[in-house]
Structure 1
Amino acid sequence: MTVATDAPAYVIFTSGSTGEPKGVEMCHQATANTIDQLNRHYAINSNSRVLAVSALDFDLSVYDLFGLLSVGGSVVLLNEASRRDAATWLELVHQHHVTTWNSVPILLDMLLVVAENDARPLPFSQVMLSGDWIGLDLPPRLQAKTHSQIPLIAMGGATEAAIWSNSCEVKGELPEHWSSIPYGKPLPNQTYRVVDPCGRDCPDWVAGELWIGGMGLATAYRGDKKLTAQRFVMADGKRWYRTGDRGRYWPDGNLEFLGRIDHQVKVRGHRIELGEIDAALAQVKGLSRGVALTIGEPKKLVAAFVKEAQATLDTQVITAQLEQQLPEYMVPSHLLELETLPLSANGKIDRKQLLNEFMALELKQAEFEAPEGELEEQLAKIWQSLLKRPQLSRHDDFFAIGGDSLSATQLIQTLQQQHIIPTSVSLTALFSAPSIASFANAITQAWRDLSGTTSDTDELFEEGTL
């Protein structure tokens, strides 16, 4: 069947991080340009296999399906019960010899947490990451679990520009001046501009709005001519998509992503780009990631951060380093340490959840009920260490007090290593029973099912800790 190259291939909705979700209409030519270039460059073929960890309403799934199937490759699908279970992913990766990994960074992080205690090397030939900042710890951890120096392909772009528009291939030692993996350079047949408010190109190192041009651009926002005209503009005879992202060019031609333009805030009369504070946090030695936001009225700047493993710096040290990089009015007044930063369903930083974290600090602690019995006390101790909480009630919800899919994966691994839970208890059990009390009941029932007895909790717990 013959299909016109400019005919609609699919409509996919944006994540809604900037407001009302919008239906992005992509044509065959735009999407095929991205897919064909990557398949050709990385030798994706009929022997390639990918584990489809991205949901179908997220545009990374477009490559999972059409990228692999267009060359006769295979797509390994997940059922809903195992969609967030990294232990299941690891078994499927080995069972089906998955060669290509394609996800947001947090999902690879979850896989590597589980793989650390597995002697088998990961069978990947390519690892593609996009959708969020990529920490500098991921490349060496990935290399430690693979056969050889496989490429970690860091990519970026927009749903409105055929999945990806830029890439940075990472191998070997990372440059010392990097604070995170940069955006890299435009993909073939695509181009970028860094534009100031007057529509002029910014010099190297000067931040501006990222505009994407070339063959990957979407046809339109389906059924919204006004928004299409606002976001897809003509300049110098070429069509461009205004991403709403901030970035800058380095002298070597690499692009650096600096966050969203709509994260600009006004504090004490000063207009502040939160992305600039995020970038300064990324420069602090010992920090894995930091995110700034505002709370309250009048607004005040705060920031949440995650430390690197073994890092010993405290909030005073972080503040002192920020004061060397930023003017006084841009230094956050309060810093909150978290084990991991909360993420949206698509793996991006969930600023609304972060805001709830800070607001919770200003509320009186809810009625406290101490953990009961040896199993609950053991769980509480591990949760406190993992989530860095001084005190936990037996009815606290793991995910409401700062836990996420990554820390949940780490929790399940720790409990299995200490033989507190049987292997039949997976991440799904924690999602179903997220409090200390309910999770302890689930563990107790799992041991009973395994032993075929109705022993009391303490006896079961003793058996589980041998």
Structure 2
Amino acid sequence: MTETPVPGHGLHERFLRGLALAPGRTAIRVGAESLTYTELHELALRRAGALRAAAPRGRHVVAVLADKSLTAYSGILGALYSGATVVPLDPRFPAERTRRMLVTAGVTTVVADGTGRAALAETGLDLPVLGEPGSAPALDAPAAVRPSDIAYILFTSGSTGRPKGVPLTHGGNAHYFELLDERYDFGPDDVFSQNVGINFDCAMFELFCAWGNGATVDAFPVTAHRDLPAFLAERGLTVWFSVPSSISFVRRIGGLTPGSMPRLRWSFFAGEALLCEDAADWAAAAPNSHVENLYGPTELTVTITGHRWSPETSASVAVNGVVPIGAVHAGHDHLLDDGGSESAVEGELCITGPQMTPGYLEAEDNEGRFLERHGRRWYRTGDRVRRLDNGELLYLGRLDAQVQIQGYRVELAEIDHAVRQCAGVQNAATVTRPAPAGGLELVIYYTGDRVPPATLRRQLSAHLPEGMVPKAFRHVTEFPLNSNRKVDRGRLAREAAGTPDAAG
């Protein structure tokens, strides 16, 4: 039986709800430019009309290849209004990577700004490009969609060296945002940071949480981190979202003084482990804000758990100094798989439910990423977790971050935590490199004060078996970050592999 469109399940309907709440308020702000809800709605309808005129018959796939700009945001909304699947892309990625993603997603049309046009030209692909909407008639209303229709496709890194395309449905997003509406009290007076790249799944949280509640989205420039409290005050931001690595950067330049960000009401962190120390410092700097640690792979629609930081209880149950990730969203089931048997307490987190992707764009990428259990399909997160008595989960680390060192089964997060306890160390990232005698050895990169390697070894020897004490310690002013502003551990590992001496 053919599935029919269901009102209320289209991701774009989040914007329509905001339009009804706050038609004259600002929907998007990029620097000195802005559009109200009414203006962005009308522009999106014009874009949708132009896309319909340019696309071949049948369902179409629209890439948005642009820097953070009114073109990018109206392009995303216009593509959704047209009934298309949206593929947000970073125009500054290498040309071959962009070409691969455009081809894999089956893109039929590209919405691009000047940077995006140049990036597309480097791929050698001949695809229709839309900048401004042009003279095509606007749509009268957004197109209807089915819950199973793909709202957007995002790309994650793949172990094979090529990006993996992850399609997410309108129905999965509807379930997700309904849960967020119940949990949070966002409204038209809120101003959201749009911090991450539009190709990052957390951008969907920033955009559609705001737009579903008539709030303003403010595109956040990277340079604003240099004086974050001043920028937040100037722009009136009330909702913050970033990866946890941003906290240490803001702290280092003096932006985390107690009470420095009083207007924030909500602060969200996702994308990597949130340390208790960082959560506590941020909460002190933003004393009127709830701080939440969100967790979820792209394959489960942005985030699938959440834990609200409590200075009284969160740190007391943390493992390796990492804030708990919380309970799995309602409407989903999860199991903890431990080598083929289901553990009631600890194992790989596997989840099934409405937020789960129907599968990767390329079928071979599905191998090993899904389980068939109890007559259902489960997504394997690759993350090892522990379940608390209250049902919340503790993040223990990536399964692929578990390594064998001289017979020891080592969780790299445990080493990170031990090094952070050393005097003078602020943060640490553990990587491995080939050992001269075979196998692997541990290399530590750390921030904070420069500490003699012998001092670090002596302190760690009090807590770790000799086989787990790192062989090399490298002091850095700050960690390298990837395009999503996460610590680039891959780059550190490559550097470590080319560095034979245990420098301090």
Residue type at the aligned position of 1:36: E
CA shift in 2, pair 1:285/1:158, >3 Å: farther
Aligned-partner residue type, residue 292 of structure 2 = I
Does the 8 A contact of 1:165 with 1:191 survive in 2? no
Q: Contact 1:184–1:255 (CA<8 Å) still a contact in 2?
A: yes
Distance 1:304 1:34 in 2: 38
1:254 is matched with 392
Q: Deviations over 1:220-276 (max 9, x none)?
A: 211x12323532332112321011222222344332222222234444566644345
Alignment of 1:272-291 (within 5 A): 272-278=410-416, 280-281=418-419, 288-291=426-429
- Conservation of the 8 A alpha-carbon contact between 1:292 and 1:301: no
Q: Select the residue among 189, 207, 211 that pairs with 1:69.
A: 211
Hey, what does 2:342 align to over in structure 1? 201
Question: How many angstroms apart in 2 are the aligned matches of 1:258 and 1:91?
Answer: 36
Does residue 204 of structure 2 align to residue 93 of structure 1?
no
Counterpart of 2:200 in 1: which secondary structure? Answer: coil
SS at match of 2:490: helix
Is residue 315–residue 323 contact of structure 2 (8 Å, CA) maintained in 1?
no
Choose which of 203, 208, 214 in structure 1 pairs with 2:353: 214
Residue in 2 that maps onto 1:235: 373
Compare the two structures and name the one with the higher strand fraction: 2
Q: Which residue of structure 2 lines up, in the alignment, with residue 458 of structure 1?
A: none
1:331-353 C-alpha deviation (Å, 9 max, x unpaired): 32233343433322223232233
Q: 2: distance between equivalents of 1:135 and 1:17?
A: 27
> Which residue of 1 is the match for residue 273 of structure 2?
133
Separation in structure 1 between the aligned mates of residue 216 and residue 500 of structure 2, nearest angstrom: 51
Q: Is the 8 A contact 1:282 1:289 kept in 2?
A: yes
Q: Report the Cα offset of residue 291 of structure 1.
A: 2.8
Alignment correspondent of 2:87 = none
Q: Matches of 2:255 and 2:403 in 1, distance apart?
A: 41
Aligned residue among 179, 184, 197 for 1:37? 179
Scaled by the length of structure 2, the TM-score of the pair is 0.62
The equivalent of 1:460 in structure 2 is none
3-state SS of 2:214 partner: coil
Structure 2, unpaired ranges of 5+: 1-142
SS in 2 for 1:67: helix
Q: CA separation of 1:140/1:243 partners in 2, compared to 1, >3 Å: closer, same or farther?
A: closer
Deviations 1:36-69, CA, capped at 9 Å, x for gaps: 2123211112222211110011111011112211
Which of 147, 151, 167 is the equivalent residue of 2:306?
Answer: 167
- Match in the other structure for 1:146: 286
Q: Distance in 1 between matches of 2:501 and 2:256?
A: 38
Structure 1 pair 287–190 and aligned structure 2 pair: CA distance change class (3 A):
farther
CA distance in 2, matches of 1:286, 1:190: 43
Give the paired residue count: 356
Query: For the Cα contact (< 8 Å) 1:15–1:346, is it kept in 2?
Result: no
Aligned residue identity for 1:66:
F
Deviation, structure 1 residue 300: 3.8
Q: 1:92 deviation in Å? A: 4.1
Seen in structure 2, the aligned counterparts of structure 1 residues 304 and 102 have a Cα distance that, compared at 3 Å, is: same
Offset of residue 361 of structure 1: 4.8
3-state DSSP of counterpart to 1:341: coil
Shift of 1:295: 1.7
Q: 1:294 aligns with which of 428, 432, 441?
A: 432
Q: Map 1:339-378; keep pairs closer than 5 Å.
A: 339-358=477-496, 361-362=499-500
Residues 396-435 of structure 1: CA deviation (Å, up to 9, x unaligned): xxxxxxxxxxxxxxxxxxxxxxxxxxxxxxxxxxxxxxxx
Return the offset for 1:34: 1.9
- 2:322 matched to 1:186? no
Q: Do 1:126 and 1:152's aligned partners in 2 also have CA atoms closer than 8 Å?
A: yes
Give the partner amino acid of 1:213. T
Distance in 2 of aligned mates of 1:153 and 1:332: 32
Give the 3 Å change call, closer, same or farther, for CA 116–230 of structure 1 in structure 2: closer
- 1:456 aligns with none
Residue 131 of structure 1 deviates from its aligned partner by 0.9
3-state DSSP class of the match of 1:35? helix
- Please state whether the residue corresponding to 1:115 is helix, strand or coil: coil
How far apart, CA to CA, are the structure 1 residues paired with 2:166 and 2:296?
A: 14
Query: Secondary structure in 2 aligned to 1:240?
Result: strand
Change beyond 3 A, Cα 1:146–1:274? closer
Amino acid at match of 1:156: Y
Helix, strand or coil at the partner of 2:237: coil
**Aligned partners of 2:160 and 2:410: how far apart in 1?**
18
- The AA in structure 2 aligned to 1:168 is H
Q: What TM-score comes out, normalization by structure 1 length? A: 0.67
For the residues of structure 2 that align with 1:268 and 1:117, how far apart are their CA atoms?
Answer: 43
Cα RMSD for the two superposed structures? 3.3
Correspondence 1:261-272 to 2 at 5 A: 261-268=399-406, 272=410
Alpha-carbon distance, 1:324 to partner: 5.5
User: Could you tell me which amino acid in structure 2 is paired with residue 187 of structure 1?
Assistant: H
Q: In the aligned structure 2, how far is the partner of 1:18 from the partner of 1:340? A: 29
CA distance in 2, matches of 1:291, 1:48: 35
The 2-side partners of 1:156 and 1:17 are apart by: 21
Q: Which amino acid aligns with 1:140?
A: A
Q: CA deviation at 1:320?
A: 5.0
Counterpart position of 1:107? 246
Cα deviation digits, residues 117-144 of structure 1 (max 9, x gap) = 7986441110010111212222332233
1:336 pairs with 2:474:
yes
State the Cα distance separating 1:354 from its structure 2 match: 1.7
Of 345-354 and 122-131, more deviation after overlay is shown by 345-354
Tell me the distance in 1 between the aligned counterparts of 2:257 and 2:374: 55
- Are the aligned partners of 2:243 and 2:485 in contact in 1 as well (CA < 8 Å)? yes
Instruction: Using the aligned pairs only, state the percent identity.
Output: 26
Which residue identity lines up with residue 130 of structure 1 in the other structure? Answer: A
Distance 1:114 1:52, change over 3 A: farther
Cα distance between partner residues in 1 of 2:228 and 2:157: 24
Mean Cα displacement is larger for which, 62-71 or 253-262? 253-262
- Letter of the structure 2 residue corresponding to residue 60 of structure 1: C
* Secondary structure in structure 2 of the residue aligned to 1:230: coil
Contact in 1 for aligned 2:259/2:286 (Cα 8 Å): no
Q: Once the two structures are superposed, what CA deviation does each residue of 1:135-192 show, in whole Å capped at 9, x if it has no partner? A: 22223322333353x2110011100001111111013345345322122221222343
